[in-house]
Amino acid sequence: MAIEKEGIYEDLSLILKRIRWGAIVVGILLGILLFYYWKIQILDHRKYSALAEANRTRESLIPAPRGLILDRNAVILADNAASFKASLIRENGRDTDRSLVEIGRLLDIPPEDLRDRISRYGSLPAFRPVVIMDNLELKDVSRIEARRLELPELIVETDPRRHYPFGSLAAHVIGYLQELTEAELKSGLYPERTLGDMIGRTGVERQYQSVLVGTDGRRVEIVDSQGRSRGDVSRVEPVPGRDIRLTLDLDLQQKATTLLEGREGAIVVLDPRNGEVLALASFPTYDPNKFITRFSPQEWMDLIGRPDHPLENRSIRGLYSPGSVFKLTMALGALDSGLITEQTAFFCSGSAFIYGRPFRCWYGGGHGTLALIDAIRYSCNVYFYNVGRRMAIDQIAQYAEMLGFGDKTGVDLPGEKEGLVPSTEWSRRFRNSNWYPGETISVSIGQGPILVTPLQVALHTAIIANRGRRVVPHLLLSPAEEPESARPPAGKIRTELFNKVIQGMWKCVNEEGTARGAKVGDFEVCGKTGSTQVLGRERAELLGKDIETHSWFSGFAPRGDPRVVVTVLVEFGGMGGATAAPLAKELFALYREKYD
């Protein structure tokens, strides 16, 4: 198009073309802008509405208080205490590295420890708080709150922290809590838990995790641009876990622990009438309160690396040869099978030559001629060597299993071991060799490859006290869950045979036998001592060392109406009559004072 005016000709086609293209571009941009607004307002309305809501609200869990653990007299053994913890919300941080240095300096935590902890929970959403320090003191809370504007990612939360008011007392029974790991979370064993939650790791805390744990509550609150709470939108209160009451007697437990202090060993106090565990002590022990503070990996390695193994519950996991305590099994088995009678006697000169080699009695001078009851009373090795020569190992194994050995007792604690009762089949399967008769002679006095736990010995004693009736040891006074049933006995031994063995146990304590150190007035304690060689005589002589022995005592009282069983094991304690029996006396005396 051309325009002519006063003789001047002007061509505007290029300008009009540019205007046209400009209008198209502007139209396209306006269309894109309108589409974008439509997408935000209509298509992605819910998404951006949720994001906007998240900017002004914050959802958090309200931890449920864990159920209490009490003793039989309602004394609290595991409680909950109010505490503060410092947590980190990663999405609120601007410069993570700088923040970790500042937070580490503020709370006296190495920045590398903070990085390790945060990386461990990298799979959690960035808005989920990660706990970096427990059990804050008021000065720590004040320092954090004072730096709120500088470190918006660092917050203070309240938490019902587990507290064990008696410290290490009954720690192996109660157990401790530890953080749930990612592997455990993926296993599906804890469907209601999340990464970082504390769960029962050992003892009753683990056994009854599902009873003790509650249901967490939820809180939705309005927050400002600095993350400060401006009030709740909604709140669902947590449901506390259920309390449980144990069969433990605090006084007996304290006494047992005190008696073991400075030693390595275990004590079990059991009610033979119903299987209630009145005391279960293992020493050395530990303070379960330390596990609540999320200590460092190095602290954990130092604890589990200790040579005295304080975390090991010796009462249900310690495996020991039973020594002369096993002579009771031998006596009952030989009587029941007709291989001996109460009047059967053997001569003890201090040793016996059997299968071409000498077997010594613990009493070098010899006991002379003894019948069964006095053989139990004086714990004569030679007598039971001769009994072992008459019994086959499979026959011994049968009676040992009937009387509580070779299988778990069924106590409601995790990690119990089965022990070992040898047999010809066991020898072929695990040693790939035949069983030799000379080995039976060692087993007949509780030596050789036979292994038991202190709780199995206590159950064995309870079966004898009950004249053959078996009970299941348990720790819940009113069980929310029935304890797992132990294997029933394979046969039945006549009551009169138990009475004969009990007569020997009574004399062992009350008529100057090996267990006279356990005598308590007219309480009619019946018991048996044992001494287990840790280092054999020949080996000790070769190395030029003393013979080291574990010290055993196990017994019950009173004789006619048994109400309490006491089993004591002291590692490297020497003779059972000198060490274990006097400790048992203290517990029998305390029981009588309280209950008789």
**Cα 380 from chain centroid?**
38
Exposure of 479 in the CB half-sphere (CA atoms within 13 A): 16
Q: How far apart, in whole angstroms, are the C-alpha atoms of residue 572 and residue 575?
A: 9
> Cβ of 20: how many Cβ atoms within 10 Å?
9
Architecture of the domain defined by 250-300+313-595: 3-Layer(aba) Sandwich (3.40)
Show the tokens assigned to 396: 């011994």
Pairing of strands 368-371, 357-360: unpaired
- Extended beta strands in 25-75, E state: 57-62, 69-70
Q: How far apart, in whole angstroms, are the C-alpha atoms of residue 447 and residue 440?
A: 9
Residues 6+ apart with CB under 8 A from 313: 172, 173, 202, 203, 282, 413, 415
Q: How far apart, in whole angstroms, are the C-alpha atoms of residue 465 and residue 499?
A: 9
CA distances for 149 relative to 91, 152, 175, angstroms: 15, 6, 41
Q: How far apart, in whole angstroms, are the C-alpha atoms of residue 303 and residue 293?
A: 14
pLDDT in tens, the chain (596 residues): 445 555 555 667 777 777 888 888 888 888 888 888 777 777 777 766 665 555 566 677 778 889 999 999 999 999 998 888 877 777 777 777 777 877 778 887 887 777 877 777 766 666 677 777 777 778 888 887 877 777 777 778 777 889 999 999 999 999 999 878 777 777 777 777 776 778 899 999 999 999 999 888 887 777 665 555 666 677 888 889 999 999 999 999 999 999 999 999 999 999 999 999 999 999 999 999 888 766 666 777 777 788 888 999 999 999 999 999 999 999 999 999 999 999 999 999 999 999 989 999 999 999 999 999 999 999 999 999 999 999 999 999 999 999 999 999 999 999 999 999 999 999 999 999 999 999 999 999 999 999 999 999 999 999 999 999 999 999 999 654 444 444 555 468 999 999 999 999 999 999 999 999 999 998 999 999 999 987 555 544 544 445 578 999 999 999 999 999 999 999 999 999 999 999 999 999 999 999 97
Residues 6+ apart with CB under 8 A from 569: 265, 266, 267, 314, 318, 320, 454, 457, 550, 551, 552, 580
- Residue range 58-166+219-244 in CATH 3.90.1310.10: yes
Closest CA to 533 of 324, 316, 266: 324
Closest CA to 589 of 259, 201, 102: 259
Domains of the chain, by residue range, sit at 2-43, 58-166+219-244, 250-300+313-595
Instruction: Write down the residue that tokens 């002589």 correspond to.
Output: 541
Annotated catalytic residue: which of 324, 444, 531, 551? 324
Amino acid symbol at 384: F
The pTM assigned to this predicted structure is 0.82
Alpha helices in 337-380 (DSSP H): 372-378
Identify whether 324 is a catalytic site residue. yes
Angle between helices 138-146 and 96-107 (to 10 degrees): 150
Residue 397 burial by CB count (10 A; 0-12/13-18/19+): exposed, middle or buried? buried
DSSP class of residue 42 equals: I
